[in-house]
């Protein structure tokens, strides 16, 4: 019974857009992944054997390709657990939306839902001047 309740809770939280974590210094691999030419960089934290990570990439890659000002990069932390730890990432995939200067806008645990993510990012994508 408890397992079913936990499973239902995890399923409900999967892909939900959440508020940003408090500001922190970004690890070097994340800073290097930021695209200064894009209003928002989606940094997908993944691991090698994570099946949902492939699904997240299939959602985020095309979303970024067809959205002006949006960039997607996948960061495999299998051999860099300190990167995930410094970002307070507890599960993969986790997607973190960052500004060019590294400010966290929001994060999504699990496979993102494209329309919800795009709606949450819209204010940041339209406010940037060329």
The domain 28-122: what is its CATH number? 3.40.30.10
pLDDT digit of tens for each residue in the chain (130 aa)?
A: 655 554 554 555 567 776 776 767 899 999 999 999 999 999 999 999 999 999 999 999 999 999 999 999 999 999 999 999 999 999 999 999 999 999 999 999 999 999 999 999 999 997 544 4
**CA 113 to CA 108: how far, in whole Å?**
9
CB–CB of 53/44 below 8 Å? yes
- The whole-model pTM stands at 0.84
Q: Give the pair of three-digit tokens for residue 31.
A: 């800073």
């Amino acid at each position: 019974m408890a397992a079913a309740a936990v499973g239902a809770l995890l399923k409900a939280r999967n892909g939900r857009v959440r508020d940003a974590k408090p500001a922190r210094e970004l690890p070097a691999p994340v800073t290097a992944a930021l695209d200064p030419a894009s209003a928002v960089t989606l940094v997908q934290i993944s691991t090698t054997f994570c099946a949902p990570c492939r699904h997240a990439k299939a959602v985020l890659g095309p979303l970024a390709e067809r959205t002006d000002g949006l960039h997607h990069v996948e960061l495999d932390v299998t051999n860099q657990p300190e990167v995930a730890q410094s970002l307070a990432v507890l599960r993969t995939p986790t997607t973190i939306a960052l500004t060019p200067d590294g400010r966290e806008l929001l994060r999504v645990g699990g496979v993102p839902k494209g329309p919800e993510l795009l709606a949450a990012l819209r204010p940041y994508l339209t406010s940037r001047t060329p």
